[in-house]
Amino acid sequence: MKRILSFAAICALSSPVLAQEDHSQMDHSKMDHGEKEQVDHSDHGVPPKPSKPPESAGSGPPNAADSIWGKEAMQPSRDALYNEHGNMKLFWFQGDRLEHRARDGKDGYLWDVQGYYGGDRDKLWFKSEGEGSFGEEIEQAEVQALWSHAIGPFFDLQAGIRQDFHGPDRTHLVVGAQGVAPYFLEIDVATFLSNKGDLTARIEGEYDQRLTQKLILQPRAEINLSAQDIPELEIGSGIDSIEAGIRLRYEITPEFGPYVGIEQEWKLGGSRDFAIADGEDASVTNYVVGVRVWF
Amino acid sequence: MMKSNISLSRRQMIGSLAALSATSGLSMPAWSKGKMSHSNHGAFKQGSEVLTGPMVHLNVGEGSFSTSGRVGHAIGLNGSIPGLLIRLQEGTKAKLMVHNMLKEDSSVHWHGLLLPFQFDGVPGLSFPGIKPGGQFTAKFDVRQSGTYWYHSHSGLQEQSGHYGPIIIDPEGKDPVEYDREHVILLSEFTPMHPHKIMKRLKVAEGYFNRQKTATFDDYDMSGEERLMWGRMRMMPTDIADVSAPAYTYMINGHSAADGLELPYEPGERIRLRFINGSAMTFFNIRIPGLPLTIVQADGQNVQPTEVDEFQIGIAETYDVIVTPKKSGAFALVAESMDRSGMAQATLTSQTGQRANFPELRDPPLLSMVDMGHGGMMEGGHDGHGGGGHSGHGAMDAKPMDHSKMDHSKMNHGAMEKPEPAAMDHDMRGMKMRDTSRLPDTVEVGPGIDMVAMNPQDRMGYPGLGLNNVPHRVLNYKMLRSLEMDHDRRPPDREMELHLTGNMERYMWSFDGKKYSSVKDNPIRFAYNERVRVKLVNDTMMAHPIHLHGVFFELVNGQGHHQPKKHTVIVQPGSTATFDVTTDEPGDWAFHCHLLYHMHAGMMQTVSVAFPEDVR
């Protein structure tokens, strides 16, 4: 029962994001094309005119220059011309959160980086997150390698592999979506299926509220979900944990913005029980200092 | 203080190069001393010399350029930025030779010149490009007159300084009478490498904008409006993709700090030849205290029209007559459309006299009209169309908006019986991206983030931020060609082309297809067709659209006096229509002249068939 509920939760939370894109795709119907043309013509106050070029306009690839300079000379520059105008590939790296976390007990650290290489539609996307307390074994560390494909103007579908580097060895299949929701809400939703058959999900959202051109208040939330108890990882089914934080960033340049903030973590349900049984706090407040960088 | 070095008295016509150079107070450029700038890493001179046709040598080289404390890599011509002024004579044969001293391929496109397509200078389209160390000669009959310019069509070289002015003197008597002339070539300098600019535009929306809305800003917008923009994932401040944080705006290669002086004698008729040779900047031009009489647009004579300000899109040219009666100093102001900076020159009757320059005005904001909801509401934010002063605002010229809205053909489903009053306050019913509105020639995909819901012809719109200024401003509907009818035929056919984009991903295209994906599928015309082309702007940016090889005529309501142009600004969320006679055979480039839009894919090939007897 709990399992079904958490699935529902995943769907409910992720569907508005995806549904929006689906909707716009669905709108792509061409049925009223004829009527539209009429409207256009009436706009000009002239009777409808054909829109197709006459046969004497010719067909096939443009080749006028070939007859002057020769096809051999033209072809490489023609390929370059097409390639240069729209086919640009880029590398981008962002350290979204690189921070020191002060809290009761030992202070900790956290990294949350991502980046990609690719063009407008398809990219190789990588992500890495990890955290721990100074002087202790790392609590959590993972790397994801994803193929990211644009499915709408604002969202990418992402699929690939996640490898964990903490605790028991785990590899996951990843399927998710990342992009910008209305109100410029940056959303990253992913579901993970591990090599042990465990199904989990993560929903992250952050938002940049510009106070001035350089001072930015960034609320951020993350929810981790699990479809089942995973005792080895001390995760209970349902909502595993929630993080909610707010960071105040000063962008010295758009690429470099140090910040301070506060973040609250709660473990819930089964995960909470696991934590209490271990003598850990199920609720932790972190005072963070860090930097957001990209290039 | 520096004097303009592309200023000429008509009585003297062209002075010697040495004399011109001497007035600038700067050293002669390398080429004029007989030293080629082969792999020249020396500093480029600001401003340019004059070279008179019919035979012209251009040497493209790299070096450094500095102005206003900004120093960086640049590409210049014959040792200067801008490149030298090429002066040709109508009715002669021109021979323009380009020598490429760069380590990469280069090219020169003669912007606005009528010539055989193989000399048009677009690598991959009209010719193979000029290899490093190579040379190319364009030979053609000069069969037009007016103000034009030239620039590289290779990669992003234009941003680095590879551009210059062209003047063609008419064969007979010039209908424009003047005693003195000054070329005003507007451009930008940036020390940032253009590829770096492109990357930042791609990965960080609004990277160069320091005028965004914020909790603490001075914009007169309600919280509701701000929420609406946020909901649509659009920024009302998306006016210039690249602006003052990266750019120093220049006139003839001089920044405002250089104090460029343009001399005059009281009582003279001065012809100012404005050329927007920038990569990304629309400029608002005014000379407070002097009315501007527009006499030419894109090199084509128009009936004199007096205004106080005009907006010039990238690649456009305007010739303006000013007649200062008294001695003094006038501020020539070229303010960027987003009002992040300005280029300046002083029109002065006395050397060293500096004009008082006005402050930058408050930055304008986009409105619902710019989103293509033109006919849906009265005016918009920022008083769009409500400006009583321009008298030619888009909305003023379209009093039928409401009747149109109710028209059954314009029935937009949920919008059936809209109440304009309610509309102003509730945009929830509006779809930002109703792709069913697009013809099936448009490819719908991630590259389209908006579809104009009810795009209106806004050729009567003076440009963003100029619809509510308290003086006369030029708009396209005011342009009336000097001569009658270039081609009396009504159009044989019509075509519609959509300007499409995605601001967030920085994708730009025609009909949803980037040039890199259209490839060998050109827009085809038969020889000597008469075609009406309607450009529909499904984006929130103004695009200066340039068609190589021919002039088209703006369908601006001037009947037999439709003005001829080579570049037309299509206002955000609006349409612009032109008629074209396809009598220049060959393959031609057709693109947005915002350099980074073109580079992102907003380009197409236009193939005009050869006449039967030639084939």
SS3 annotation, B498-509: EEEEECCCCEEE
Q: Which residues have CB under 8 Å from A96's CB, separation 6+? A: A112, A113, A114, A206, A292
Burial class (CB in 10 A: 0-12, 13-18, 19+), B441: middle
Peptide bond into B54 cis (omega under 30): yes
At A99-141, the pLDDT tens digits run 999 999 899 999 999 999 999 999 999 999 999 999 999 999 9
Q: Residue B460: phi, psi to the nearest 5?
A: -95, 10
- Which token pair is B552? 């088209």
- Cβ of residue B123 closer than 8 Å to a chain A Cβ: yes
Could you give the CA distance from residue B516 to residue B501 in angstroms, rounded to a whole number? Answer: 14
Cβ atoms of residues B289 and B377 within 8 Å: no
Q: ∠B104-B251-B33 over CA atoms, to 5°?
A: 55
Q: How many CB atoms lie within 10 A of CB B610?
A: 15
Could you give the CA distance from residue B256 to residue B244 in angstroms, rounded to a whole number? Answer: 12
- Which token pair is B522? 């050109």
Please list every residue in chain B whose beta carbon sits closer than 8 Å to the beta carbon of residue A123.
Answer: none
- Which token pair is A248? 């105040």
Q: Please choose, from the candidates B460, B403, B434, B419, the residue with its C-alpha nearest in 3D space to the C-alpha of residue B574.
A: B460
- Which token pair is A231? 């005792």
Q: ∠B13-B14-B18 over CA atoms, to 5°?
A: 150
- Pairing of the two strands B163-169 and B146-151: antiparallel
Is the pLDDT assigned to residue A294 strictly greater than 80?
yes
Could you give the CA distance from residue B574 to residue B555 in angstroms, rounded to a whole number? Answer: 14
Q: Which residues are registered as beta bridge partners of A175?
A: A159, A191
Which pLDDT score, from 0 to 100, does residue B4 have?
A: 52
Once rounded to an integer, what is the mean pLDDT over residues B143-154? 98
**Cα B512 to chain centroid, rounded:** 22
Contact at CB, B446 and A184, closer than 8 angstroms: no
Could you give the CA distance from residue A97 to residue B162 in angstroms, rounded to a whole number? Answer: 41
**pTM to 2 decimal places:** 0.87
Q: How many CB atoms lie within 10 A of CB A205?
A: 17
Tokens 């729209």 locate to A86
Tokens 């300046």 locate to B344
Q: Which residues have CB under 8 Å from B260's CB, separation 6+? A: B2, B3, B4, B251, B252, B254, B344, B345, B346
Please list every residue in chain A whose beta carbon sits closer than 8 Å to the beta carbon of residue B440.
Answer: 30, 33
Q: ∠A79-A83-A88 over CA atoms, to 5°?
A: 165
At B384-398, the pLDDT tens digits run 333 333 333 333 333
Once rounded to an integer, what is the mean pLDDT over residues B463-480? 96
Q: Which residues are registered as beta bridge partners of B536?
A: B498, B575
Its ipTM equals 0.85
Q: Please choose, from the candidates B60, B141, B147, B68, the residue with its C-alpha nearest in 3D space to the C-alpha of residue B106.
A: B60
List the single residue in B202, B436, B609 with the smallest CB-CB distance to A57.
Answer: B609
Please list every residue in chain B whose beta carbon sits closer than 8 Å to the beta carbon of residue A24.
Answer: 433, 435
Once rounded to an integer, what is the mean pLDDT over residues B71-89? 95
Cβ atoms of residues B197 and B242 within 8 Å: yes
- State the DSSP code for B117: G
Is the pLDDT assigned to residue B260 strictly greater than 70?
yes
**Cα A110 to chain centroid, rounded:** 19
Could you give the CA distance from residue A91 to residue B202 in angstroms, rounded to a whole number? Answer: 11
Could you give the CA distance from residue A99 to residue A114 in angstroms, rounded to a whole number? Answer: 15
Cβ atoms of residues B142 and B93 within 8 Å: yes
- Cβ of residue B233 closer than 8 Å to a chain A Cβ: yes
Q: Please choose, from the candidates A275, A283, A191, A175, the residue with its C-alpha nearest in 3D space to the C-alpha of residue A233.
A: A275
DSSP A226-251: ESS-BGGGTB-SEEEEEEEEEEEEE-
Q: Which residues are registered as beta bridge partners of A108?
A: A101, A133
Which pLDDT score, from 0 to 100, does residue B549 have?
A: 97
- Kindly identify which residue of chain A lies nearest to residue B516, measuring between CA atoms: A82
Cβ atoms of residues A122 and A148 within 8 Å: yes
- Cβ of residue B109 closer than 8 Å to a chain A Cβ: no
Contact at CB, B514 and A69, closer than 8 angstroms: no
DSSP B44-64: PEES--EEESSEEEEEEEEEE
Q: ∠B553-B559-B564 over CA atoms, to 5°?
A: 20
Could you give the CA distance from residue B59 to residue B77 in angstroms, rounded to a whole number? Answer: 5
Please list every residue in chain A whose beta carbon sits closer than 8 Å to the beta carbon of residue B448.
Answer: 153
Peptide bond into B82 cis (omega under 30): yes
Could you give the CA distance from residue B347 to residue B326 in angstroms, rounded to a whole number? Answer: 12
- State the DSSP code for B408: G
Cβ atoms of residues B237 and B365 within 8 Å: yes
Q: How many CB atoms lie within 10 A of CB A278?
A: 10
Range in A142-146, A221-225, B239-243, B350-354 with the lowest mean pLDDT: B350-354
- Which token pair is B288? 């407070």
Could you give the CA distance from residue B408 to residue B402 in angstroms, rounded to a whole number? Answer: 12
At B397-415, the pLDDT tens digits run 333 334 333 333 333 333 3
At B296-336, the pLDDT tens digits run 999 999 999 999 999 999 999 999 999 999 999 999 999 99
DSSP B374-386: GGGSSS-GGGTTT
At A36-67, the pLDDT tens digits run 333 333 344 455 567 788 988 988 888 899 99
Contact at CB, A182 and B233, closer than 8 angstroms: yes
Contact at CB, B436 and A32, closer than 8 angstroms: yes
Give CA separation, B498 vs B435, B441, B572, in Å.
Answer: 12, 9, 12
Largest CA-CA distance found in chain B, in angstroms, rounded: 74
Burial class (CB in 10 A: 0-12, 13-18, 19+), B518: buried
Is the pLDDT assigned to residue B39 strictly greater than 70?
no
Q: Which residue has the higher pLDDT, A28 or B270?
A: B270
Which pLDDT score, from 0 to 100, does residue A1 have?
A: 42
Contact at CB, A56 and B155, closer than 8 angstroms: no
Contact at CB, A49 and B127, closer than 8 angstroms: no
Contact at CB, A85 and B231, closer than 8 angstroms: no
Largest CA-CA distance found in chain A, in angstroms, rounded: 84
Structural Rg of chain B based on CA atoms: 23
Q: Residue A256: phi, psi to the nearest 5?
A: -135, 110
Which pLDDT score, from 0 to 100, does residue B429 have?
A: 58
Q: Please choose, from the candidates B106, B112, B465, the residue with its C-alpha nearest in 3D space to the C-alpha of residue B315.
A: B112
Please list every residue in chain B whose beta carbon sits closer than 8 Å to the beta carbon of residue A153.
Answer: 433, 446-449, 502, 504-505
- Cβ of residue B484 closer than 8 Å to a chain A Cβ: no
Which pLDDT score, from 0 to 100, does residue A127 have?
A: 98
For residue A198, give how far its alpha carbon lies from the nearest alpha carbon of chain B (Å): 33
Q: Please choose, from the candidates B339, B300, B331, the residue with its C-alpha nearest in 3D space to the C-alpha of residue B316.
A: B300
Is the pLDDT assigned to residue B465 strictly greater than 90?
yes
Q: How many CB atoms lie within 10 A of CB A249?
A: 20
Among B33-47, B351-365, B373-387, B411-425, the range of highest mean pLDDT: B351-365
- Pairing of the two strands A122-133 and A140-150: antiparallel
End-to-end CA distance of chain B: 58
- DSSP SS3 for B446: coil
Could you give the CA distance from residue B251 to residue B184 in angstroms, rounded to a whole number? Answer: 6
DSSP A10-59: HHHHHHHHHHHHHHHHHT---TTHHHHHHHHHHHHTS-----SPPGGG--
Tokens 């785990």 locate to A170
Which pLDDT score, from 0 to 100, does residue B53 have?
A: 75
- Cβ of residue B471 closer than 8 Å to a chain A Cβ: no
Which pLDDT score, from 0 to 100, does residue B485 have?
A: 78
**pLDDT band at B368, cuts 50/70/90?**
confident
**pLDDT band at A275, cuts 50/70/90?**
very high
Q: How many CB atoms lie within 10 A of CB B614?
A: 8
Contact at CB, A27 and B534, closer than 8 angstroms: no
Please list every residue in chain A whose beta carbon sits closer than 8 Å to the beta carbon of residue B601.
Answer: 85-87
Q: How many CB atoms lie within 10 A of CB B615?
A: 10
- Which token pair is B537? 């702007």
At A20-36, the pLDDT tens digits run 444 444 334 333 443 33
Which pLDDT score, from 0 to 100, does residue A52 have?
A: 86
Burial class (CB in 10 A: 0-12, 13-18, 19+), B33: exposed
Contact at CB, A86 and B515, closer than 8 angstroms: yes
Once rounded to an integer, what is the mean pLDDT over residues A167-180? 95
